[in-house]
Structure 1
Amino acid sequence: MTTITSTKKKKNNTRSRLLWKFSLLAALIFTSTSCFSQSEKSTVKIEENKSEAKVTGLKYICIHVLELEKTLKLYREILGFKMTKAEVLHGPGLEGMLVMKLKTNDLTIGLSLTAPEFIDTIGPIGNTNHNHFMLKVNDISTIGDKLKEEGYELENEHYARDKYTFFVGPNGEIIGLSAWD
């Protein structure tokens, strides 16, 4: 009788193990199928987002320079930026402004310095586009239209044609948008 009970227990254990393995296999198959269908949905969602008007990256940051020597020491000697370009701009509100482009890897910083004889033409620093960051966008027309609908004033009304504009954010930050590559 002991032998029969022992054999019966072995059969039950074998059946239990097989049932457990089958259940585990079924759960794995169900989970992988579920994950596959979710990732397929995610792929579709990502492709849909590609057509939306949105920011695609940071183009550059522009800083109005108050102390040239200290600024160049910080960005070039300490932070490792390299000067790639320097030019004097001309035009309303920009007359005599020196703009220096500094670059490291894929980040560009523009340093702007107004010529002393024109310092009174630019107005207070907070009211100019000297201190700003420029965002890359994939569809400036749509984004510009949305900003105008929300009551933001765009500095360049021809933003669709010119592929850039500036506006003041809700915290006083000056934000530039550029569709240039």
Structure 2
Amino acid sequence: MKSKIETKRKGNTCKFNFSYRFLCLLVFVVVSTVFISAQNSEQAVANDTSKEQARVIGLKNICVHVLELEKTLKLYREILGFKLDDADVFKGKGIEGMLAMKLKANDLTITLSLTAPEYLHTIGPVGNTNHNHFMLQVNDIGPIGDKLKEEGYTLENENYVRDKYTFFVGPNGEIIGLSAW
């Protein structure tokens, strides 16, 4: 009698082992399929990200051309609470003699630009940073600059792709800078 029971158990064990192995194989195939599908999906997202449209990714800076130094400093420092963070005198065509004072309030920086009197005649059209403007940081300036030109905007810097910046006048007279650095 014992031998019959042992045979039955052996037979059930074989069926159980086969069922267990089949189930494990099925789970492995399903998990592998899901894993491969997820990897392909991630790669598709990565490819879409690399083909992401050129766009604005942040505010680079705000620049205010100073016409009245004492009133300007009183407003920004004494009333609004900005602190002087840095100052620099720029040199180069169109920006000779420009003093740029960076004022900070928490994480906001405003640049006040002041041109030395002997250089006032050098203040030119858009593109000269001696004017009121805000500069937007972009992830890819080439396509954006090209689209602006297609739409009829005049770009101050025709070498915007190489130099990674340019300025243009918006439809309301606002001066907008673009920077990819």
Q: Normalization by structure 2: what TM-score?
A: 0.66
Structure 2 match to 1:6: none
What amino acid is aligned across from residue 137 of structure 1 in structure 2?
Answer: V
Q: Deviations over 1:134-168 (max 9, x none)?
A: 01111111111111111111111111121111011
What amino acid is aligned across from residue 146 of structure 1 in structure 2?
Answer: K
Structure 2 unaligned blocks of 5 or more: 1-44
Matches within 5 A, 1:6-17: none
Inter-CA distance 171–128: structure 2 relative to 1 (3 Å threshold)? farther
Shift of 1:106: 2.5
Number of residue equivalences: 134
Structure 2 match to 1:138: 139
Alignment check: 8 A CA contact 1:168 1:174 kept: yes
Whichever of the two has the greater Rg, that structure is 2
Shift of 1:92: 2.1
1:105 matched to 2:106? The reply is yes
Distance in 1, matches of 2:92 and 2:137, equals 24
Q: Deviations over 1:4-36 (max 9, x none)?
A: xxxxxxxxxxxxxxxxxxxxxxxxxxxxxxxxx
Alignment check: 8 A CA contact 1:59 1:108 kept: no
Structure 1 unaligned blocks of 5 or more: 1-43
| Secondary structure of 1:73 counterpart | helix
Alignment check: 8 A CA contact 2:127 2:167 kept: no
Aligned residues with identical type, % of pairs: 76
Q: Please list every run of at least 4 consecutive aligned residues from structure 1 whose deviation after the TM superposition is greater than 2 angstroms.
A: 126-129
Structure 2 match to 1:19: none
Root-mean-square deviation (CA), in Å?
2.3
Matches within 5 A, 1:1-181: 51-123=52-124, 128-129=128-129, 130-180=131-181
